[in-house]
Structure formats: structure tokens, C-alpha cells
């Protein structure tokens, strides 16, 4: 430890300032960790934030000799110059483990900085599990509490800030070390699928009956209905439902056979349902429905049809996940409805298992979160949003963790508020300025400068929430393995 200054006036239980000893302004940086040797008796761990450089001779509120010097290009005396940092209290570290600080911090208490070799991370709790390292200190791995994995996680940062890589290199190994299996939904098919051995593609996967109905309706543009009540309930959909639920369509070996089968059987069903019992004829409206369906089904592409013919079930995927530790569902090809339908099949199955009170020991990684549960869900997004919310609620009891990645937190660029509330631990990286308000709400009153949140470098994340040993957000960083290897080569 090295003494860097003393506490300034105006300290409280949770906040203080440090006036830096001469020259320390060149060493002490924002986010550095310090120990306050409180004259009132305890030792308090805190983090430097904010910060101020002051020279009374250089105030610009009125004209002064200092200002006059500046005007003629000279420097006034720096006798009245000092530097200070704000200190956000992490907690009472008197006994080597972190406790809530309840003591008032005495002005003029000594402040010491943690140097590289006095690793302060053990004070934050020795959980045996870590994610990343404390900013600028590669040897200080940050302890993260795995007991709260099923209180769910959110990873928020604008595109390119390192969310997917943080998840791949740090969060997934952390979750696995805690004994969970991992099921990844790779929306783009490029972030995870190439890096894990066990993966499924869109056309491999079997869908549940109602998901098939939803999917087929959506690729047939809901038969031209646009009112939400008619999208959900209309005679064509009802007929399709009957045919799909009967299940014989699953024996159609290829797309064209399926097209014929559906066309014949749905038309038959529409005719049967709408036949006048007395006259034995179908009315004008029924003929209209039949015409509509006939047109829609010829417009379906072979790929659309092939996508419902996959055979792998959610149950099989989970069986494989139990053996293989990590399974990736590669959603790289296909349209949005298909991708969401597949997710929905698996998610619904997981809900069923939990309703049967099965412990899952599973983490779901959902990258590109706004695709699944946007701010204002539409169509099938309503169902995916709802099911994610259900997964979160049940997951806490049955060891299912949801890890959601998103480029925005709230509002139009963010994720649905109902889901957001369920993500207890948050990793927040470089943000879009539109999201500052929400981020500041999450990061609380921890003196984090909101200007910094839009400037954060790639790979930096504030971690906040139950999994963080500190009650205030901490700044972590992670390196890509290639970078580590290069350093090793040089050595």
C-alpha cells in the first residue's frame, strides 16, 4: 500500500474525497482502489471517481492576477494548486472481508492506494469464480458470485463493444465452472457456432405443433389479415391448426409432398367446416377462404416448408446439452419468424420441464436480445417476450439462467421492460448516448461519470448487481486470448 493523500471535508458514510499528496496526481487514476484508514476506527475500501484539479489563481469567474498572467502567456504561481478525487465507498474492510460501512469517515483520515501486489480482490469475497480482471490490473481477477447465476444476467453495450466475446471468453466458462450446461442461441451464426463443436442448424430442428402453425401463418403473411384479433383467430388458421394437430403431415418426406398434403387437407377441412348441413354446399365466404389459402400455399418457398420438417426435438437438444456441456443453436440462416419459432419451441419445452418441477442446471445465452424481446413486441415477438419472462420467473427456482445480450437497455433500442426487471446482474459497456438515462439508473449513485459511459473502450464493462461482491459497480476488463498469447511470446 502507498499513502496517496488525506480525506477532505464533507465526507459522509458512503462518500468522501481525497486530497492528493503533491505529485500523486501523476499516479492516481479514476477507478483506482484505495483504503481509507478512518480516524474513527475502521478501514474502508473505496474507489476513486470524479476528480478535480483546482488552482485558485486561475478561476475564470472574475478577473484576477492569475488570469492576467494567463492573458500574457505566462503561468501564475501553482502554490494554490491541488488535486482531489471523489471516493465511492465499497465497504468496511477492517476484518479482511467486506461489510457494510456504518462509520462516518473522518476528514483528514489517511488514504492509501492498493498497489499491484496487494491484490484487494480477496476482500470482495473469495467465491472461487471470476469474470475478467479489475481495469488495468491483469492479476486482479474479479470475484463473481455464482450463487446468483439463476437471477439472470444482462450484457448491454453498443455494437462492437465486446458483448459477444465477453460472453464467449468469460461468462460461459464462468457458468460452466459453476456446474451449469449452456445452450446458446446464435442469431447471426457467426459469434458462437464456429467455436463450439456441438451445434444444430435451423433445418435440423423439429418444431412443436402450435409453433408450426404460427410459423406457417406468418410466412403466409397471415393470409392477408392484419387486425391482431383476426391474425390470432380466423377460419383458415383454424383449419390449418386442425390439420397440423392431427400430425400426419410429419410423415411427408420432402417440401413438395408437404405442400400437396397441406393444400389438400386444409382445403378439405375448410370445406367440411363451412358446409351447410341442409344444402350440402359451401357458401361464398368459405369459397373465399379456400381461394385465399390456395394462393398462399403456392407462394411458400421450399425452404420455408423444409424448415418445419426438421426432426430434432427440444428434448433431444437438452439431452445432448447434458452430455456435451455447450450446445449452439445456429440461427444464422432463415427469416426472423423461423428463428423465433425455434427459440419458442425450446423455451416452451423448458417451461414445461420446470412446471413439472425439474431442476435444469442450464444457462440460456440469448445474443441480440432485442430480436426476441424488443421494447414493443409485435406478432411472434409477443410470444417470445412472454416466454422469456416466464423462463426468468421459473428459472430462479429450477436453476435455469437467462443471459441476455443487447445493444440497448431501454426504449426503442432496448429490450422489453418486463424482461429487464428480471436481469439481476448487469454488465454495462460502451453505450449509445440514447441509453444514458437508463444506464445511470442502473449504475445508481456511484459517481460514475455518464460522459465516460459513451466513451468506454472495447472490452471494458461495469458490473453491477447481486453477483458483484461490491455494492457499487466495478469496472472490469477482459483480454482476448490472442492478445495474451502475444504477450507470452514476447516474454
Ligand X SMILES: Nc1ncnc2c1ncn2[C@@H]1O[C@H](COP(=O)(O)OP(=O)(O)O)[C@@H](O)[C@H]1O
Binding site for ligand X (CB under 6 A): 157, 159-165, 458-459, 478-480
Q: Which of residues 77-136 bind Mg ion (CB under 5 A)?
A: none
Partner in contact with 230, chosen from Mg ion, ligand X, none, beta carbon below 5 to 8 Å by kind = none
CB of 472 to ligand X, least distance (A): 23
CB of 460 to ligand X, least distance (A): 8
Partner in contact with 154, chosen from Mg ion, ligand X, none, beta carbon below 5 to 8 Å by kind = none
Residue closer to Mg ion by CB (options 174, 192) is 192
Residue closer to ligand X by CB (options 5, 132) is 132
Q: Return d(Cα 73, Cα 94) in angstroms, integer.
A: 50
Torsion, CA 150, CA 313, CA 305, CA 215, rounded to 10: -40
Residue closer to ligand X by CB (options 6, 182) is 182
Q: Return d(Cα 465, Cα 472) in angstroms, integer.
A: 8
| Binding span for Mg ion by CB under 5 A among 53-61, 162-170, 219-227, 370-378 | 162-170
CB of 459 to ligand X, least distance (A): 3
CB of 25 to Mg ion, least distance (A): 38
Partner in contact with 58, chosen from ligand X, Mg ion, none, beta carbon below 5 to 8 Å by kind = none
371 lies in the site for Mg ion, by CB under 5 A:
no
Residue closer to ligand X by CB (options 51, 459) is 459
Residue closer to ligand X by CB (options 351, 453) is 453
Q: Return d(Cα 313, Cα 156) in angstroms, integer.
A: 31
Partner in contact with 97, chosen from ligand X, Mg ion, none, beta carbon below 5 to 8 Å by kind = none
CB of 374 to ligand X, least distance (A): 17
Partner in contact with 399, chosen from Mg ion, ligand X, none, beta carbon below 5 to 8 Å by kind = none
Q: Which of residues 163-182 bind Mg ion (CB under 5 A)?
A: 164
CB of 109 to ligand X, least distance (A): 37
Residue closer to ligand X by CB (options 320, 454) is 454
CB of 458 to ligand X, least distance (A): 4
CB of 455 to Mg ion, least distance (A): 20
Partner in contact with 479, chosen from ligand X, Mg ion, none, beta carbon below 5 to 8 Å by kind = ligand X
Residue closer to Mg ion by CB (options 161, 387) is 161
Q: Which residue is nearest to ligand X (CB)?
A: 459
- Total residues at interface with Mg ion (CB under 5 A): 1
Residue closer to ligand X by CB (options 159, 397) is 159
CB of 186 to Mg ion, least distance (A): 10
Residue closer to ligand X by CB (options 388, 476) is 476
Which residue ranges make up the site for Mg ion (CB under 5 A)? 164
Amino acid at each position: 500500500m502507498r499513502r496517496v493523500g488525506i480525506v477532505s471535508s464533507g465526507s459522509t458514510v458512503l462518500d468522501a474525497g481525497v486530497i492528493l499528496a503533491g505529485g500523486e496526481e501523476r499516479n492516481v487514476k479514476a477507478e483506482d482502489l484505495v483504503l481509507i484508514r478512518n480516524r474513527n476506527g475502521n478501514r474502508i475500501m473505496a474507489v476513486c471517481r470524479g476528480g478535480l484539479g483546482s488552482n485558485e489563481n486561475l478561476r475564470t469567474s472574475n478577473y484576477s492576477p492569475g488570469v492576467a498572467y494567463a492573458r500574457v502567456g505566462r503561468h501564475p504561481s501553482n502554490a494554490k494548486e491541488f488535486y482531489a478525487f471523489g471516493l465511492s465507498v465499497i465497504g468496511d474492510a477492517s476484518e479482511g472481508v467486506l461489510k457494510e460501512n456504518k462509520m462516518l469517515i473522518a476528514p483528514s483520515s489517511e488514504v492509501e492506494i492498493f498497489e499491484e501486489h496487494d491484490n484487494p480482490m480477496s476482500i470482495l469475497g473469495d467465491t472461487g469464480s471470476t469474470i475478467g480482471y479489475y481495469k488495468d490490473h491483469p492479476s486482479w481477477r474479479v470475484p463473481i458470485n455464482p450463487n446468483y447465476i439463476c437471477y439472470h444476467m444482462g450484457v448491454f453495450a453498443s455494437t462492437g463493444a465486446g458483448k459477444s466475446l465477453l460472453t464467449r471468453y468469460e461468462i460461459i466458462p464462468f457458468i460452466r465452472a459453476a456446474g451449469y450446461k449452456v445452450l446458446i442461441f446464435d442469431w447471426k451464426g457467426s459469434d458462437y457456432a464456429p467455436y463450439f463443436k456441438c451445434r444444430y442448424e435451423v433445418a435440423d430442428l423439429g418444431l412443436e405443433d402450435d409453433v408450426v402453425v404460427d410459423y406457417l401463418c406468418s410466412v403466409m403473411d397471415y393470409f392477408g389479415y392484419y387486425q391482431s384479433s383476426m391474425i390470432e383467430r380466423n377460419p383458415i388458421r383454424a383449419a390449418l391448426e386442425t390439420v397440423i394437430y392431427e400430425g400426419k403431415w410429419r410423415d411427408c418426406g420432402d417440401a413438395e409432398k408437404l405442400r400437396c398434403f397441406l393444400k389438400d387437407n386444409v382445403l378439405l377441412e375448410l370445406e367440411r367446416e363451412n358446409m351447410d348441413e341442409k344444402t350440402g354446399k359451401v357458401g361464398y365466404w368459405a369459397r373465399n377462404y379456400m381461394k385465399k389459402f390456395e394462393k398462399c400455399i403456392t407462394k411458400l418457398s421450399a425452404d420455408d416448408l423444409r424448415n418445419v420438417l426438421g426432426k430434432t426435438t427440444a428434448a433431444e437438444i437438452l439431452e445432448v446439452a447434458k452430455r456435451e456441456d455447450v450446445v449452439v443453436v445456429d440461427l444464422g440462416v432463415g427469416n426472423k419468424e423461423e428463428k423465433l419459432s425455434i427459440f419458442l419451441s425450446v423455451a416452451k419445452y423448458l417451461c414445461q420441464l420446470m412446471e413439472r418441477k425439474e431442476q435444469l442446471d442450464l444457462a440460456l445465452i440469448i445474443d441480440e436480445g432485442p430480436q426476441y424481446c424488443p421494447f414493443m413486441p409485435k406478432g411472434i415477438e409477443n410470444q417470445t417476450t412472454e416466454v422469456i419472462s416466464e423462463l426468468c420467473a421459473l428459472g430462479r427456482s429450477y436453476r435455469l439462467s437467462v443471459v441476455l445480450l443487447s445493444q440497448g437497455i431501454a426504449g426503442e433500442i432496448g429490450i422489453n421492460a418486463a424482461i429487464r426487471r428480471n436481469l439481476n446482474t448487469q454488465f454495462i459497456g460502451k453505450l449509445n448516448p440514447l441509453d444514458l438515462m437508463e444506464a445511470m439508473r442502473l449504475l445508481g449513485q456511484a459517481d460514475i461519470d455518464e460522459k465516460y459511459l459513451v466513451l468506454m473502450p472495447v472490452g471494458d464493462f461495469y458490473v453491477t448487481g447481486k453477483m458483484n461482491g461490491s455494492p457499487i459497480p466495478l469496472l472490469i476488463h477482459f483480454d482476448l486470448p490472442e492478445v495474451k498469447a502475444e504477450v507470452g511470446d514476447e516474454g
